[in-house]
Chains A and B, each alone.
Chain A
């Protein structure tokens, strides 16, 4: 198998792969940004005192977490047109990724905020710090430290999840492998090259995550 491995064709297809590599970065980057916004909103609703808001956020989070992303992607891809809403595949894909990842982001953020003992907020109040000072000096430094490593993990998941967008014919990395397979019938070259590109993103994000875990998480006695 390996002796027949055709590096020349891979080089020939390299411009396509690089273009698709950028597309994957763009799609998952947009999804990450969107999920931070959706997640912050859902988290704020979830921990609010209003039962209606909290209930709505729960329904959103639980229904996303209990169904596969692929079903969600198809839901929007086939469902939005039947409501008369037409948009590009990329738009649909980013929306599906955003809403999916937003539910997980909301849970990560909630865990981050709940990791801070309430006594610290009270201590801040009695030291005479105002709301913004408490946020700036007490809550955010600790909450971000707890939140950033799992958020980087979520970013890794998001990059891998974006592969499913190839199934609604968005041109990204996995699609490049499919294109090469169908044009040249070289699945080994196509999909292994695709895998290598994903691994590059994975190892970069993983090392950042490892570094941030060492640097950012506050531990007693440090």
Chain B
């Protein structure tokens, strides 16, 4: 019996790999978008404009305070009522990008705040423009604080991407869910799903730990 199930599973391996590719596509696009927007929001939050700071802060609270599944449903089921019709894939990417931006924005803002204020004053006194200050003085130092939690956040986002299977995106989790209807061996099927996620996430977790060790106390190393 077990050999039968194993061969069944081996036959559906291409199906799983297709799902893995979808997981990588959804999370890859969302991570890139979320990182770009998150950095922009994080920089805006530290610009001493209270209105913008509170606006972004309130949005971040709304997103952090609700489950990602509910956000996915809101994008997929409610936006059409407002006249925005999205297929499952763009809806998933939109929801995940927004989630990523909200978490990354907090990491970036914390990183920028960790740079001593005197550095910015010194840069101003040296006649650097705002953009130059960010590019040459603030960001290079802030990156040491930002990078380890950023990679950790990527892992969380890749794992969260499994939730979009609920609206029918054919990712690894969805592949497992469909396969288990045919091959009723949950441990085997979702063991395989777990292994596929593990292959992506485990190296990233260790990269994050490595960066933390490397960057730890690194502010004095210049």
Contact = CB atoms under 8 A, between A and B. Distances in A.
Contacts of A68: 159-163, 173, 197
A174 B66 CA distance: 10
Nearest to B152: A65
A160 B77 contact: no
Contacts of B198: 63, 66-67
Contacts of B163: 68, 70, 164
Interface string B179-197: 0100011110111011001
A13 to B, nearest CB: 16
A82 interface: yes
Contacts of A206: 61, 65
Interface string A70-94: 1110111111111100000000000
A161 interface: yes
Contacts of B74: 187, 191-192, 195
Contacts of B205: 62, 65-66
A174 B167 CA distance: 14
Nearest to A164: B69
Given A62-B202, A164-B67, A198-B65, A71 B73 contact: no
B99 to A, nearest CB: 11
A110 B82 CA distance: 48
Contact of A77 (B62, B70, B186): B186
B197 A67 contact: yes
Given A71-B173, A195-B70, A167 B185 contact: no
A137 interface: no
B78 interface: yes
A162 B70 CA distance: 11
Interface of B: 61-62, 64-70, 73-74, 77-78, 81-82, 155, 159-163, 165-166, 172-173, 176-177, 180, 184-187, 189-191, 193-194, 197-198, 201-202, 205
A174 B187 contact: no
Given A66-B201, A191-B78, A195-B74, A74 B177 contact: yes
Contact of A82 (B69, B176, B185, B194): B185
B66 A74 contact: no
Nearest to A166: B69
A49 to B, nearest CB: 22
A1 interface: yes
Contacts of B193: 67, 71, 74-75
18 contacts: A65-B201, A66-B202, A67-B201, A68-B197, A70-B163, A71-B176, A75-B186, A75-B190, A77-B186, A78-B190, A79-B186, A156-B65, A166-B69, A174-B70, A174-B73, A181-B73, A198-B67, A202-B65
A1 B190 CA distance: 40
A191 B62 CA distance: 14
A160 B180 CA distance: 26
B140 to A, nearest CB: 28
Contacts of A160: 66-68
B194 A163 contact: no
Contacts of A198: 65-67, 70
